[in-house]
Each structure stands twice: as C-alpha cells, then as structure tokens.
Amino acid sequence: MLKVGAISADPTELRRAYGCFPSGVTAVCATIGDEPVGMVASSFTSVSVDPPLVSVCVQNTSTTWPRLRERSRLGVSVLAHRQDAACRSLSNKHGDRFADVHWEPSADGAVFVHGATVWLDCSVHAEVPAGDHAIVLLRIHGLRADPDGEPLVFHGSRFRKLAAL
C-alpha cells in the first residue's frame, strides 16, 4: 500500500512501478547488407495520424540502435501472443537474435517478423533525448494490420494474454 510521503525515486522501484503498466511488445528491425538487425521495444505508442507517427523509447546504452538509426527504412512488428520466444530471442545481448525468428525483408530494407499483428514500414522522423533513453519518432510509410490478432502483452515482468470482458 502506498503511504503518504513514501514516494521513492529509487531506480529499482521505478522499474517495478513502470512494470505496473501493461504494454505491447514491438520488434524494430532492418537489414544491414543481407543480415537482419533488430531489437525489442516495449515503450511503443501511437503519436499522430497526420503525419502518421509512432514512437519507441531506446536506451542510450543500446548497441543496436546506432546500427539501425541510419537505415532508410525500419520495420516495426507488433508481436502477437505466443511470440514470447521470438521476443526473447530478439532481446538477446549475444548470439544470433534471428536464429529461430521467421522474418521477411522489404525492398527498402525494413524487416518484419512473421505472425505479428501489425507491420509498420517506417523511417526515423526525429529523435529526442530523454534522460537515459531517447524518444524516437518514426514516420509510417506503409502498414499491414490484423485487428483480430491478439497482441503479446508485457506486464509485471511477464508476458500476459488479454482477456475479453
């Protein structure tokens, strides 16, 4: 129970508090040469319809984002429930992140994960410093969506499934 005056800015407590908000999980990917490069981002949100923008938040310590930010196109795949193994693979720090992930490249170099509920073909619109992260605004150039598909939900440091009421 939260007590008056018990608010803490401790990083561990902040992460735990942020985990109380359920979020979808996205993969942000592109090809470099013939090889896919990608990362997972759970801090994803729609931003604007005109122009069509979404955002992801990226840690400043990411070694993947510097490789992706200069690509002309990025694929954003909103992962579906039962894609938790793909999510874990794409978030690995070492090894081949795409070893067991089925994916498809676009002609412009974006990479899309098979089975995702949404594919967004994007380019970097802007990047805004935000503490230990950067807020990356992505402009959408094309999309494919399956509104009936169930998303992968991350909440309380676990994957969850939505339930209809």
**Class of the CATH-defined domain 22-146:** mainly beta
Q: Which residue has the higher pLDDT, 31 or 22?
A: 31
Instruction: List the domain boundaries for the chain.
Output: 22-146
Tell me what the pLDDT averaged over the chain comes to.
90
Q: What is the pLDDT of residues 129-153, one digit of tens each?
A: 999 999 999 999 999 999 999 999 8
Q: What is the pLDDT of residues 71-114, one digit of tens each?
A: 999 999 999 999 999 999 999 988 899 998 999 999 999 999 99
* pLDDT attached to residue 22: 76
Backbone φ and ψ of 153, nearest 5°: -115, 135
Assign 4 a pLDDT band (cuts: 50, 70, 90): low
Residue pair 153/80 in contact (Cβ under 8 Å)? The answer is no
Cα–Cα distance for residue pair 69/127, rounded to 1 Å: 9
